[in-house]
Amino acid sequence: MREYDIVIIGGGPAGLAAAASAKRNGVDSILILERDKELGGILNQCIHNGFGLHTFKEELTGPEYAARFIDQVEELGIEYKLHTMVMDITHEKKITAMNREEGMFEIQAKAIVLAMGCRERARGALNIPGYRPAGIYSAGTAQRLVNREGFMPGREVVILGSGDIGLIMARRMTFEGANVKVVAELMPYSGGLKRNIVQCLDDYGIPLKLSHTVVDIRGKERVTGVTIAQVDKSGRPIPGTEEDYECDTLLLSCGLIPENELSRSAGVEMSPVTSGPLVNESLETSIEGVFACGNVLHVHDLVDFVSEEAAAAGRNAAVYVKGERTAAEGKVVRMNPTDGVRYTVPASIRPDQMDDQLTVRFRVGGVYKNCYVCVYFDDECVSRRKRRWWLPGDGRGEAGEGEAFRAARP
Ligand SMILES: Cc1cc2nc3c(=O)[nH]c(=O)nc-3n(C[C@H](O)[C@H](O)[C@H](O)COP(=O)(O)OP(=O)(O)OC[C@H]3O[C@@H](n4cnc5c(N)ncnc54)[C@H](O)[C@@H]3O)c2cc1C
């Protein structure tokens, strides 16, 4: 069986940044396993700009941003295998993978970094009635078809979901000559960035209907139309508010789900809120020596924060394999997100293992105006910050996921 100090599963921005960081922190024996034909992950199909403002102070396209990290991996001489699908990992950090050249093979790692990203929520998970005609795509699939494979999924388009991928695809389809008729959003607020609503919808006269959902899909062979209706506060369609749209394509942009089948089968403890592993201050999962970062841990809006988090995971994995961790005293501080904060990453902190300061990321579950975010240690308020707005999906340095606070060692 082959042996490596650190094996990284996934060669997207998280895996690349984790690998570079582990190498810079003194570990040479590193292997990245990537199922795709190239490194870079989802960024390879995101040809719009807007990436890297925090990291490089430049507006890069997705492939340009990925290329900067691929270059680092090449320059550092980090080994990687493409076309290689990881099939299984065990509690003992044994990895089973396969590719065409080597068939099925096993690797024993001292540490594993989970960086498998996430996938889009499919129609099956959305309970939309109607037939199953051609013409229904996830927004990410449509993005790949248009940007990488040169196919147009359709001409008359309705989009369900106003997260950033849906918004960006509304503009992209318009650039390619499609008529995007409406973007319907179940929630009373958009899940995407304000600047994307302006630049991708308003600039092209595409209406955004908040508190609306698709209640019927028509067409047997190919989509011929959809019906959208307003929903009440509990998300139920309100009879009498239905509107019919003729279209040949329905794009779904209804959320992302961390890709955690491998983590689950290895016995990693999962968060029911993020659908990602529960991690401590070192971004280490419930299995010692197995770390997680990027979209497999919790869905990020901004790749810059993925890279930042992944660098920390890589550094912590390096400290672990070099045996440099201080002996744990056993004291664990549990994070207890309440009053609108849905989750924190990490979910727990071992004070004797953390640096002097630690970044804690979180997301809120609703729209909050003129509010405070407070951090309590037992009953003592140790940090209090006022915000004019706090929005669930507005994560790029404005609020939401991008918002992080630095916790000092208690
Ligand atoms: C459509 C879209 C638009 C976006 N737009 C922006 C934007 O404008 N600005 C911005 O900053 N961010 C944007 N983002 C977010 C950013 O791209 C992501 O946060 C980032 O790519 C996540 O990195 P990751 O490495 O965690 O996941 P990914 O990029 O998804 O990489 C995960 C990798 O793991 C591999 N993998 C998974 N399972 C296995 C396995 N079993 N074996 C081997 N390999 C495996 C996958 O093939 C993939 O290459 C966008 C994201 C999407 C989806």
Per-residue pLDDT of the chain (410 residues; tens, 9 = 90+): 899 999 999 999 999 999 999 999 999 999 999 999 999 999 999 999 888 988 888 989 999 999 999 999 999 999 999 999 999 999 999 999 999 999 999 999 999 999 999 998 876 666 777 778 999 999 999 999 999 999 999 999 999 999 889 999 999 999 999 999 999 999 898 888 888 899 999 999 999 999 999 999 999 999 999 999 999 988 899 999 999 999 999 999 988 899 999 999 999 999 999 999 999 999 999 999 999 999 999 998 889 999 999 999 999 999 999 998 877 677 899 999 988 889 999 999 998 888 888 888 988 888 888 888 888 888 888 888 888 877 776 433 333 334 455 555 54
Tokens (6 digits) for 57:
């102070």
Atom number, ligand 1, closest to the C-alpha of residue 42: 29
Question: Residue 294 CA: which ligand 1 atom is closest?
Answer: 26
Alpha carbon of 117 to ligand 1 centroid (Å):
5
**Residue in 203, 201, 199, 158 with CA at minimum distance from that of residue 182:** 158
Q: What are the φ/ψ torsions at residue 174 (nearest 5 degrees)?
A: -65, -45
Q: What is the pTM of this model?
A: 0.92
CA of 296 to the centre of ligand 1 (A): 9
The two tokens of residue 329 are 């005293």
Q: Which amino acid appears at position 375 of this protein?
A: V
CB distance 117 to ligand 1 below 6 Å: yes
Q: Which two tokens stand for residue 258?
A: 């961390």
Across the chain, which distance is largest between two alpha carbons, in Å?
66
Q: Which helix (H) or strand (E) holds 349?
A: strand 348-349
Q: What is the pLDDT of residue 396?
A: 33
d(CA 71, ligand 1 centre) in Å = 18
pLDDT at 403: 46
Tokens representing residue 124 in the block: 């099956």
Q: Could you tell me if the CB of 268 is within 6 A of ligand 1?
A: no
Q: Give pLDDT, residue 193.
A: 81
Residue the block writes with tokens 């011929």:
224
116 lines ligand 1 (CB under 6 A): yes
Instruction: Give the pLDDT confidence score for residue 395 in this predicted structure.
Output: 39
The number of angstroms, rounded, from the C-alpha of 185 to the middle of its chain's C-alpha atoms is 20
Q: What 3-state class would DSSP assign to 284? A: strand
How many A from CA of 386 to the centre of ligand 1? 32
Give the distance (Å) from ligand 1 centre to CA of residue 62.
Answer: 10
Give kind and range of the element (H or E) at residue 364.
Answer: strand 357-364
Sign of the alpha-carbon dihedral angle for 128, 132, 137, 141: positive
